[in-house]
Structure 1
Amino acid sequence: MNVKLRPEKYLKYLYLPNLFGTQRTKEILSVNPTIVPQRAEAEEVCVHVFDYDADTIVEKELDKVDEAFPFKTSKRVSWINIDGLRKADIDLISEYFGIHPLLIEDILSVSQRPKMDEVEGVMLCLLNMLYYNEAKQTVEVEQISIVLGDQFVISFQEDASRDVFNPLRERLRLPTSKARGRSADYLCYAMLDMIVDSYFLVMDKLGDRIELLEEEVVRRSNKRSLARINQLRKELIVLKRNIAPVRDLIGNIVRSESDLLDDRTTKYFKDVHDHIIQAFDLIENYRDVMMSLQDLYMSNVNLRLNEVMKVMTIVTCLLAPATVIGGIFGMNFDIIPYAHHEWGFYFAVGGMFIVPLVMLYIFKRRGWF
């Protein structure tokens, strides 16, 4: 039988930070707002355009950013999705669509806190899409910037290989879709709603892991269980850091009096706000469960230690009579009762067995073990 060995699977444990997961901690906590990070330029930029109204829709894949300029005057709702960020491309399209330089700076930022901002008739919603990596069992983050203007929405994504908007694209392709007859602010709502809904999918994955971990801790907790608890707590930190600010983002949109937002669309944003509050509450529940699991693990460790100490104490007590009897008959005196008796040895050995048996019976009757 041929067995394929994978040494890389085990070599990573030779590096101690990998063993204890400290590298993940560094990734989560290494955020310094006073340092301006340098974003790497994307090797490839993909531009996907949906230009639609209630009767017609135009869907195009563009090679260059400037090919999307004519859609600004199409008199239909235009969704321009740009995958891959390059400063030159963002500056070019921002200048044509009237996006303020302050908003451009936020779009190009790295590890930006989710927020909503409106400058000179253009609204920016900056937040993160979350994905669950089954292989690494970690939560991955991708920043997305949604720019809402007059009859257009421009979305900037970092990764061209994945997003959560495929159901929205399918809806727009349907002639009977209600989204086709709505304005650009409804498209912005639909995008935010799908991002928030994707948070629940990630939390469901973590919830399943928490449930399995709880069973493991109750049945057979060990050091690996503690390591898994710490790992899950780190992933919950990632969730809370990215979901909590979105609550304020949606709340600011609901309270906004911007001309870009139709009064009829406000109720939809309120629904998203309810969902994000529910997601935040669920994270807090997960956090409470993880704290309870850690306390349960420590209780199990202390309980096992107490059981060991109890057994060793009982053994010590049972050996004490034999030690006393042996010590008495081993004293260096000329006259010791039964020391020279023909049955003296058997009396001593019998006492060494009988007294511990009586003690064992008394311990059992008292329920000490």
Structure 2
Amino acid sequence: MTKPPRYQRRRRSPPGTPPGTLTADPDAGETRVRAIRFNAEGVSEDDSLAPCAPGSILWLNIDGLADTDLLQKIGTSFGLHPLALEDVVNVHQRPKAEEYEAHQFIVLRMPEPGQDGLHTEQVSIFLGDGFVITVQEHAGDVFDPVRTRLRNPLGQMRKRGADYLCYALVDAAIDAYFPVLEALGEKLEQLEDTVVFDPDAVDMGDIHVLKRELMSIRSAILPMRDVVATLQREETQRFSDNTRLYLRDCQDHAVQLIETIQTYREIATGLVDILLSSQSNRANEVMQVLTLIATIFIPLTFIVGVYGMNFDDMPELHWRYGYPAVMGIMGLIAVVLAIWFYRKGWLGRR
């Protein structure tokens, strides 16, 4: 059974590739298109690329990056910049926000828990006049709450513009890290109790896996905070002043996540120190017991060595009670040393 790589390895374009070239990844998921069109009166969903009626907003969600021809066609239809499309296919991008003439381009990282640990998936968002396009590595995302809000006839999202939909998607991607951090916090709390009360039952590898997952989340959230800060600037023409107020909430959530991650990392580092100290103390206790045992046997070994000499003129050797006397003296010495060690606190006390 092949062991998965410890750190995700992202496929990149070969060196020297012309900018804007879309190179399909052989491991990319099947490309599927899902379109949601909405306005204040209603919402419709299908898998077509037909444009929206005037006054409506189009949310085009694309899962999978295998079909680069389809991505190129969509880019041509909506005026997406070739450099942005290249970043969509090359999923090693750092979260960022770039403004082009026809659209705003945003790259985020979405949490993706798996059997071999926590990974993050790249989500690319295009915000243009009357449309929002999201492109993901494969099916499955954290945007179901946004879809539910769009389907709600009493909701306010249908009455908003495309910039508010883009904000809602960014907010959903950031908020998706809160349940992940809560689960990691519970693991950290359990490890903390175990390290303190039963350090022998703790595997150092569990703590390192936890720290690695925290690092993965931090590397995704930290630049996303800068992305939200960029979108709040007045130079960004795609977001209205009203939507920028909501982006402040995303900024607060990102900062809260970063502070929580930093706290968890410090606790995890402290657990490593506590575990190493516990193991060191345990080794010291074992060495102390062995040293005390050896110390008790030093005078006994001396006595045995003296009477083990092959001399015929040793009077104790011909004494009837010589053997019991020597054994009694050896036992008395052992008891006296043990009592003395105990009173000193070196034996039998913690």
> How does the TM-score come out when normalised to structure 1?
0.86
Residue 273 (structure 1) shift: 0.7
Residue 158 of structure 1, aligned match among 131, 137, 158: 137
* Aligned position for 2:113: 132
2:239 maps to amino acid: L
Distance in 2 separating the partners of 1:209 and 1:61: 41
* Aligned position for 1:200: 178
Distance in 2 separating the partners of 1:221 and 1:42: 43
**Is 1:47 aligned with 2:33?**
yes
* Aligned position for 2:257: 279
Residue 97 (structure 1) shift: 0.9
**Is 1:237 aligned with 2:215?**
yes
Distance in 2 separating the partners of 1:306 and 1:35: 55
1:359 maps to amino acid: L
Which whole-Å deviations, capped at 9, do the CAs of 1:247-275 have from their partners, x for residues lacking one?
11111111242221100111110110110
Q: Are the structure 2 counterparts of residues 145 and 32 from structure 1 closer, same or farther at C-alpha, using a change threshold of 3 Å?
A: closer
Distance in 2 separating the partners of 1:306 and 1:179: 65
**Is 1:110 aligned with 2:94?**
no
Distance in 1 separating the partners of 2:301 and 2:217: 61
Distance in 2 separating the partners of 1:317 and 1:191: 71
Q: Are the structure 2 counterparts of residues 187 and 239 from structure 1 closer, same or farther at C-alpha, using a change threshold of 3 Å?
A: same
Residue 57 of structure 2, aligned match among 73, 77, 98: 77
**Is 1:326 aligned with 2:312?**
no
Residue 347 (structure 1) shift: 1.3
| SS of 2:94 mapped into structure 1 | coil
Alpha-carbon contact 1:132-1:205 (below 8 Å) kept? no
Alpha-carbon contact 1:47-1:81 (below 8 Å) kept? yes
Which whole-Å deviations, capped at 9, do the CAs of 1:57-114 have from their partners, x for residues lacking one?
2x2221xxxx42422x532121111122221111111111111111111111122111
Residue 24 (structure 1) shift: 3.9
Distance in 2 separating the partners of 1:41 and 1:155: 20
> How many positions carry a matched residue from both structures?
339
Alpha-carbon contact 2:40-2:159 (below 8 Å) kept? yes
2:225 maps to amino acid: R
Alpha-carbon contact 2:34-2:61 (below 8 Å) kept? yes
4+ residue runs over 6 A deviation? none
Distance in 2 separating the partners of 1:359 and 1:43: 74
* Aligned position for 1:6: none
Which whole-Å deviations, capped at 9, do the CAs of 1:146-176 have from their partners, x for residues lacking one?
100012101112222x111111111111122
Distance in 2 separating the partners of 1:41 and 1:132: 19
* Aligned position for 1:308: 286
Q: Where in structure 1 are there 5+ consecutive unaligned residues?
A: 1-11
Alpha-carbon contact 1:46-1:61 (below 8 Å) kept? no
Alpha-carbon contact 1:164-1:195 (below 8 Å) kept? yes
Alpha-carbon contact 1:100-1:119 (below 8 Å) kept? yes
2:131 maps to amino acid: F
Distance in 1 separating the partners of 2:326 and 2:101: 101
Residue 223 (structure 1) shift: 8.3
Alpha-carbon contact 2:130-2:162 (below 8 Å) kept? yes
Distance in 2 separating the partners of 1:206 and 1:242: 16
| SS of 1:339 mapped into structure 2 | helix
Residue 45 of structure 2, aligned match among 60, 72, 76: 60
Q: Where in structure 2 are there 5+ consecutive unaligned residues?
A: 16-22
Structure with a larger share of its residues in helix: 1
Distance in 2 separating the partners of 1:231 and 1:293: 13
Residue 130 (structure 1) shift: 0.4
Residue 31 (structure 1) shift: 5.4
Distance in 1 separating the partners of 2:149 and 2:91: 31
Q: Are the structure 2 counterparts of residues 61 and 31 from structure 1 closer, same or farther at C-alpha, using a change threshold of 3 Å?
A: closer
Alpha-carbon contact 1:217-1:225 (below 8 Å) kept? no
* Aligned position for 1:7: none
Distance in 2 separating the partners of 1:153 and 1:80: 6
Q: Are the structure 2 counterparts of residues 356 and 102 from structure 1 closer, same or farther at C-alpha, using a change threshold of 3 Å?
A: same
Residue 362 (structure 1) shift: 0.7
Q: How does 1:1-369 map to 2 (within 5 A)?
A: 23-25=4-6, 27-28=7-8, 30=9, 39-40=25-26, 44-57=30-43, 59-62=44-47, 67-71=48-52, 74-85=54-65, 86-133=67-114, 136=115, 138-160=117-139, 162-222=140-200, 225-369=203-347
